[in-house]
Structure 1
Amino acid sequence: IDECSDQNGGCSHNCTNTAGSYNCSCSEGFVLDGDRHNCTDIDECSTLNGGCSQTCTNTVGSYNCSCSEGFVLDGDGHNCTVMDGCASLNGGCEQTCVNTGGSYHCLCGDGYRLNADGHNCDDIDECLVNPTICGINADCINGYGFFDCVCSTGYVMGAGGCQDVDECRSGDATCDVHAFCVNTVGTYRCMCLDGFTGDGNDC
Structure 2
Amino acid sequence: MAINNTLTISVNDSLTDDNEEINILVCNCNSRGSCQWTDTLRGGSESYGLVPCDCMEAYDGAECMDDADGCADDPCFTNCTDVPAPGLGYTCAPCPAHLTGNGTSCLDRDECEEGTDNCAQNCTNVVNSFNCSCHAGFMVDSSNSSNCVNVNECTMNPNICAAGGSAAVCLDTEGSYMCACKPGYKMDGAGVCVDIPDCNNRTICDNTTSVCQETPGSYRCDCKTGYSRKPGSSSNSSCVNTNECTGAKPVCSSGSRCVDSEGSFSCICLPGYIRRSKEVCTPNVTSCAKINCTAERSV
The verdict on a shared fold, with TM-score over 0.5 as the criterion, is: yes
Q: Which runs of 5+ in 1 are unaligned?
A: 1-24
Match of 2:25? none
Displacement after TM superposition at 1:180 (Å): 1.1
Match of 1:52? 119
> In the alignment, is residue 164 of structure 1 matched against residue 236 of structure 2?
no
Residue 68 of structure 1 aligns to a residue in which SS? coil
Distance 1:165 1:138, change over 3 A: same
> In the alignment, is residue 155 of structure 1 matched against residue 237 of structure 2?
no
Distance 1:117 1:87, change over 3 A: farther
1:175 paired residue among 252, 260, 266? 252
Identical counterparts, % of pairs: 34
> In the alignment, is residue 188 of structure 1 matched against residue 265 of structure 2?
yes
The aligned runs of 1:116-131 (5 Å cut-off) are 121-128=193-200, 130-131=201-202
Distance 1:137 1:71, change over 3 A: same
**Conservation of the 8 A alpha-carbon contact between 2:170 and 2:177:** no
Give the counterpart letter for 1:165 in structure 2: T
- Name the larger-Rg structure: 2
Q: Distance in 1 between matches of 2:139 and 2:155?
A: 13
Distance 1:116 1:71, change over 3 A: farther
Distance 1:117 1:67, change over 3 A: farther
Structure number having the greater helix percentage: 1
Displacement after TM superposition at 1:48 (Å): 4.8
| TM value normalised by structure 2 | 0.45
Displacement after TM superposition at 1:70 (Å): 3.5
Match of 1:16? none
| TM value normalised by structure 1 | 0.62
Distance 1:70 1:190, change over 3 A: same
Between 1 and 2, higher relative CO (CA 8 Å, sep ≥ 6) is seen in 1
Distance 1:191 1:102, change over 3 A: same
**Conservation of the 8 A alpha-carbon contact between 2:138 and 2:150:** yes
Match of 2:183? 110
2:134 paired residue among 37, 44, 67? 67
**Conservation of the 8 A alpha-carbon contact between 1:153 and 1:186:** yes
**Conservation of the 8 A alpha-carbon contact between 2:152 and 2:172:** no
Displacement after TM superposition at 1:119 (Å): 7.4
Match of 2:214? 142
Question: Aligned Cα RMSD in Å?
Answer: 4.0
Residue 251 of structure 2 aligns to a residue in which SS? coil
Distance 1:74 1:168, change over 3 A: closer
Displacement after TM superposition at 1:54 (Å): 2.4
Give the counterpart letter for 1:137 in structure 2: T
Match of 2:281? 202
**Conservation of the 8 A alpha-carbon contact between 2:169 and 2:182:** yes
Displacement after TM superposition at 1:151 (Å): 1.3
